[in-house]
A and B are shown apart, each in its own frame.
Chain A
Amino acid sequence: MRIVFKTNYMQDIRPWKDGYQLCLYLILLVVVAVAPWWLDDFYLGELTNVLIWAVAGLGLMVLTGHTGQVSLGHAAFLAFGCYANVILIEAGVPFLIAFPLAGVLTGIAGVTVAIPALRLHGIYLAIFTMALSILMDDVIVLAEPLTGGVAGKYLGGVEILGHLVDRWATPVQFFWLVLGVVVLVTLGYINLLRAPLGRSFIAVRDSEVSAQAMGVDIARTKMISFALSCAVTGWAGALMGMYAGAFNNESFNVLISIQLLMMIVIGGLGSIHGAFLGAVIIGFLPQFLSISKEYFGALLGGNTVAIPGLEFGVFGMILIAFILFEPMGMYGRWLKIRTWFELFPFYRKDMFKRQKSYLKTERLR
């Protein structure tokens, strides 16, 4: 059993609890950073994909996990970020300016969308944002001069300070670029959560009435949350575009939105870890399925013909299983396992059980 003895406020303010925890995360970072030396190009590409999904997950986590605003429209912002990045690069803007700018523009687009969405809650907000996702498809087709319409766009490598960064030609450089974005976004997220703004997001999520009474401006907080969420999603979209190389109006359809939302629910809503764990599942599940399909096919002597919709079927089942048995997601499960080991043999089954309270102040609006 490990006990952290606190003697200083900084111990609660800094992001890590103690040196041990800091070491673990640094080791993880180093192990991932040197992945090009222990992974072949195929799996390096898959790992890159997982990290890009993690950025997208972090983007949605700000909005859905921490501010409690469901969004089924984040594929629209992925698309926005992707196209903004490409269009800027084609206009001759260097990548190091185009990429951040793509995120900022997506953030601004997010705020514009947020203004009518501020009064919507729950299922209505979900429907509204889902409509966005469907609309984006048509908007891309209609804005053909800018977006290339149905024919789509192609983005080869980009140049960063004289180095070519390309998904196919220089996968290692591209991996490090993605890793860099992941680390920066994660650090920003951690900082946000230990500052007043992150707490006001949580306040809006858990009780708008009392957040207001504490002086939190609900509309403004939701808008900032939309802006940050969409900006990060825009970066993820830009990276996805570079990862895919070619994309058109159908690359970011509504299914991507749903997949993204499922990802953070499976990973664990309301935690940074959740976005990463969910991305690992989403990223590796297709590989896992195709491998296991071959295995079972060989075992049963059957063929290995693709079963349509298998992937989404399995996603759906995983999602249902999580909502039924582990609403806190993979991260919640991990916390339980860790606590079991830390407290051995004193872990009790109901330790994480939450006292439900059904009484809520009558919703005032």
Chain B
Amino acid sequence: MSLLEFENVTLKFGGLTAVKDLSFAVEEGEVFAIVGPNGAGKSTVFNLISRFYDPYAGTIQFDGHDLLKVKPSGVAAYGVARTFQNIELFEHATVLQNLLVGRHRHRKTNVLSEILFLPSARRQEIANREKVEKIIDFLDLQAFRDKMISGLPYGVRKVVEVARALATDPKLLLLDEPASGLSVEETTDMRWWIDDIRRQMGITVLMVEHDMGLVSGVSDRVLAMADGAKLALGTPAQVQSHPAVVEAYLGKAS
């Protein structure tokens, strides 16, 4: 069974159909990319998975669970983590605190034990810290550990967001344009990290990305969308040469 399954999902905002009868499945252990022109509904797909929107029709299954029955804050508990297109970090907190928020879904203590900081809370903090330190090592963030987000450059924030998502120990990682606004070197780094996330950590990656170099470099399968509908689905090479995709990006040959 696939890890994530979209079946005939439709989402409407008033008269606008943002996602049109979309079906696709993400298999465990693959890197799956969604491409498409602006306004194609790529980020909307992410927001559907995060349960920020309720679809008009269709079902979304994750790991055998019906995601539509889960509330937005419950999605993380199933092992779905995500980043945002326009970085949504906790600005007035340090990098370390941001990553520790990522551990929130593993919280076992209650209000009282935390206010008294009982040994259970202490143990939990140390365990969380160990996990977070591994991710800091993995993404080379040591230099920024105690820095406030609001003082960090854009490229680093992008990486911190990926780190925070990884800190939740996800099964599925949603990356919304991980390379947008990054320099060529940073994009290359991101490419190797995505590769390592899949290979070393065994996390399935679903990403939205415009940089075709990155997409064809790391992804196993690509879904091309336009106007909320599926255009093509296949390997990067197949999708790139698909006539409908060429038409959506470049227009019809006259």
- A interface residues (Cβ-Cβ under 8 A, vs B): 9-10, 12-13, 188, 191-192, 194-200, 202-203, 205-207, 209-218, 224, 228, 270, 353-355, 357, 359-361, 364-365
Contact = CB atoms under 8 A, between A and B. Distances in A.
Contacts of B124: 196
A188 B115 contact: yes
The secondary-structure label for the interface of chain A is helix
B50 A213 contact: yes
Interface stretch (B34-42, B96-104, B218-226): B96-104
Contacts of A213: 50, 72, 75-76, 81-82, 84, 88
Nearest to B118: A191
A253 to B, nearest CB: 31
Interface of B: 47, 50, 52-53, 71-77, 81-82, 84-93, 96-97, 100-105, 107, 109, 111, 114-117, 121-122, 124-126, 128-130, 148, 150-153, 164, 168
A211 B93 CA distance: 13
A215 B122 contact: no
B87 A357 contact: yes
B126 A216 contact: no
A193 to B, nearest CB: 10
A192 B124 CA distance: 14
Contacts of B74: 215
Contact of B130 (A9, A188, A194): A9
Contacts of B96: 12
Given A197-B111, A224-B111, A211 B150 contact: no
Contact of A210 (B88, B126, B148): B88
A354 B76 contact: no
B119 to A, nearest CB: 12
B81 A206 contact: no
B88 A200 contact: no
B115 A361 contact: no
Given A195-B109, A207-B90, A212 B102 contact: no
A354 B50 contact: no
Given A361-B85, A361-B86, A209 B52 contact: yes
5 contacts: A10-B126, A12-B129, A205-B92, A207-B90, A209-B52
